[in-house]
């Protein structure tokens, strides 16, 4: 399937859209304020060694020194399992060669004060604490993690199929050499030897580039920063299907071109600079697609529609026939609407980057052949998705349950925040509920404290309701309390905010 990448670069954020057959399928967003230090490599100098806590402080040239724990210092007997995958924190690495010693060596036998060390940030600085660092360097690629200082072949535990594990490990051992070790990542599942070998060559070239700067750099200097979004996308997502990469920033275009020429020469001739005055995301209607992807309702061409409800526990997708009635009977209408919905659901899963547990509530169908055919179409459509998915058969309630691997934050969670009024539920108290809540508080306050009158200050819409439909009840409460109730509107208050003052 032919694809294009659109790269929109601004000083404050970078956005990338993947276009397949003229339609936006995936969107990646990175904001400069949210970029961290994790993955950066520094040439540091040991400031202090603290044997009592088996740790050391290393000057990285930043405001706060880095914190280096003894277990994060590389040495010949060190267990490579401590080297976690930078981009797949859920993937654990299984030792597939020898059982390496995990014995703790005193830190003062590993490093000395004033010693120069090459370290990598594993955790961001928090409050007054400096970044946590390690000398167990690792460079993440698309399918592999390269370990410059080890000669080890590992594999992510989340690859569960035994035959696939054996196949990948055989490939890993066949392509590894004395230049370093490697870890086979979860995303390598199902990929060919040539793809893994190409990834390893890229990482080895990258490491040689970093290593060449080591001797010429002074301590407390950065040697390598984790790639920004458009370079990471080139590394991780440019496949044979991507025919063109359009970049609307000349500076970014030059950086991508230089990067491609050094590390991915086969991609260099696919890069194109977009000089147009009209925003590139407007030209390809990406802005419209993003805005639509933030809505709960998705219309289908037939007149049907989807309701997509993303929650913390799971995402529910409800299929409705809407105004579609152009079929001979109900079963045919349901089947045709469901088939159309399948392709739109897969599109929305990719565009919104929805992960975790997903429940699909298709329109009920009575014929078993139609139900099974629908699952086959869903499975086929999901093959376009690079994220790992798994479909479960129909549940007893007729729902299709599936899972999709979480690889990054969803589009909605990236661009939206919970409503301050409904706190993410999608509902707020009705005006009548607020009025009756005011009535209860008026009675409670009048009974608890002596007063002659009470004043209710609330949003104009609430006051209008109290003076209109609820005016009789205001009179009844005044008679019950033998006290006057005064009403005052305040536009500065939200509809669910009010005050009851005693006079």
Residue 503 CA neighbour count, 13 Å, CB half: 12
Closest by CA to 140, choosing from 71, 93, 174, is: 93
**453-489 per-residue burial string, b: 16 or more CB within 10 A, e: under 16:** ebbbbbbeebbebbeeebeeebeebbeebebebebeb
pLDDT of 324:
63
Ranges of residues in the chain with a pLDDT under 50 are: 79-103
In CATH, what number does 297-415 get?
3.30.1710
Residue 317 β-bridge partners? 308, 360
pLDDT of 127:
65
CB 382 within 8 A of CB 391: yes
pLDDT of 448:
92
The tens digit of pLDDT for each residue in 171-201 reads: 999 998 778 899 998 878 888 999 899 889 9
267 alpha-carbon distance from chain centroid: 26
The span from the CA of 459 to the CA of 431, in Å, is 10
The span from the CA of 18 to the CA of 29, in Å, is 12
How many other β-carbons are positioned within 10 Å of the β-carbon of residue 137? 21
pLDDT of 400:
96
Task: Identify the CATH class of 431-502.
Answer: alpha beta
How many other β-carbons are positioned within 10 Å of the β-carbon of residue 17? 25
Helix/strand/coil for 347: helix
The tens digit of pLDDT for each residue in 284-334 reads: 999 999 999 999 999 999 889 999 999 888 999 999 988 766 657 888 889
* Fold held by 3-34+236-287: Nucleotidyltransferase; domain 5 (3.30.420)
Say if pTM beats, i.e. exceeds, 0.85: no
The span from the CA of 287 to the CA of 44, in Å, is 44
pLDDT of 80:
45
In CATH, what number does 41-224 get?
2.40.50.140
The span from the CA of 423 to the CA of 310, in Å, is 14
CB 73 within 8 A of CB 54: no
If DSSP states are collapsed to H, E and C, what string results for 57-96? EEECCCCCCEEEEHHHCCCCCCCHHHCCCCCCCCCCEEEC
Residue 116 β-bridge partners? 45
pLDDT of 325:
61
The span from the CA of 63 to the CA of 41, in Å, is 16
C-alpha distances in Å from residue 195, one per residue of 175, 188, 192, 201: 11, 9, 6, 10
Tokens of 382: 């999901």
DSSP single-letter state for residue 286: H
The ranges assigned to domains in the chain are 3-34+236-287, 41-224, 297-415, 431-502
Q: Who contacts 456 (Cβ-Cβ below 8 Å, separation ≥6)?
A: 438, 442, 463, 466, 485, 486, 487, 488, 498, 499, 500, 501
Residue 389 β-bridge partners? 404
């Amino acid at each position: 399937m032919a694809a294009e990448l659109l790269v929109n670069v601004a000083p404050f954020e970078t956005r990338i859209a993947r276009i397949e057959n003229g339609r936006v399928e995936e969107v990646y967003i990175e904001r400069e304020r949210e970029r961290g230090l994790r993955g950066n490599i520094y040439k540091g100098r040991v400031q202090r060694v603290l044997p009592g806590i088996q740790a050391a402080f290393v000057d990285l040239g930043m405001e706060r020194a880095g914190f280096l724990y003894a277990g994060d210092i590389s040495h010949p007997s060190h267990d490579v399992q401590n080297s976690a995958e930078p981009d797949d924190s859920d993937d654990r690495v299984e030792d597939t060669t020898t059982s390496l010693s995990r014995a703790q060596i005193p830190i003062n036998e590993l490093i000395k004060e004033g010693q120069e060390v090459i370290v990598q940030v594993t955790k961001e600085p928090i409050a007054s604490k400096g970044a946590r660092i390690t000398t167990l360097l690792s460079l993440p690629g698309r399918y592999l993690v390269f370990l410059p200082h080890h000669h080890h072949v590992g594999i992510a535990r989340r690859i569960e199929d035994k035959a696939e594990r054996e196949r990948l490990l055989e490939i890993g051992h066949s392509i590894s050499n004395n230049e370093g070790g490697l870890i086979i990542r979860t995303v390598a599942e199902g990929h060919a030897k040539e793809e893994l070998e190409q990834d390893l060559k890229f990482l080895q070239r990258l490491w040689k580039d970093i290593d060449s700067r080591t001797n010429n750099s002074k301590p407390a200097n950065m040697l390598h920063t984790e790639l920004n979004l458009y370079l990471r996308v080139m590394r991780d997502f440019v496949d044979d299907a991507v025919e063109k990469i359009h970049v609307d920033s000349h500076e970014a275009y030059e950086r991508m071109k230089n990067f491609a020429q050094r590390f991915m020469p086969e991609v260099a001739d696919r890069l194109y600079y977009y000089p147009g005055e009209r925003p590139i995301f407007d030209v390809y209607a990406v802005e419209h697609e993003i805005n639509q992807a933030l809505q709960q309702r998705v219309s289908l061409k037939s007149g049907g529609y989807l309701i997509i409800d993303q929650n913390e526990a799971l995402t529910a997708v409800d299929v409705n026939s809407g105004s579609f009635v152009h079929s001979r009977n109900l079963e045919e209408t349901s089947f045709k609407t469901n088939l159309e919905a399948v392709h739109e659901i897969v599109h929305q899963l990719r565009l919104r980057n929805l992960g975790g547990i997903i429940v699909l509530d298709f329109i009920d169908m009575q014929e078993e052949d139609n139900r099974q055919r629908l699952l086959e179409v869903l499975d086929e459509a999901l093959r376009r998705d690079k994220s790992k998915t798994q479909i479960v058969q129909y549940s007893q309630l007729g729902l299709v349950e599936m899972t999709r691997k979480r690889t990054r934050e969803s589009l909605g969670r990236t661009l939206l925040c919970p409503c301050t009024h409904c706190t993410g539920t999608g509902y707020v108290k009705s005006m009548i509920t607020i009025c009756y809540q005011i009535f209860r508080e008026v009675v409670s306050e009048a009974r608890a404290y002596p007063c002659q009158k009470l004043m209710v200050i609330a949003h104009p819409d609430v006051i209008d309701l109290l003076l209109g439909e609820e005016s009789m009840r205001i009179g009844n409460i005044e008679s019950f309390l033998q006290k006057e109730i005064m009403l005052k509107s305040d536009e500065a208050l939200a509809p669910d905010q009010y005050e009851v003052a005693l006079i």
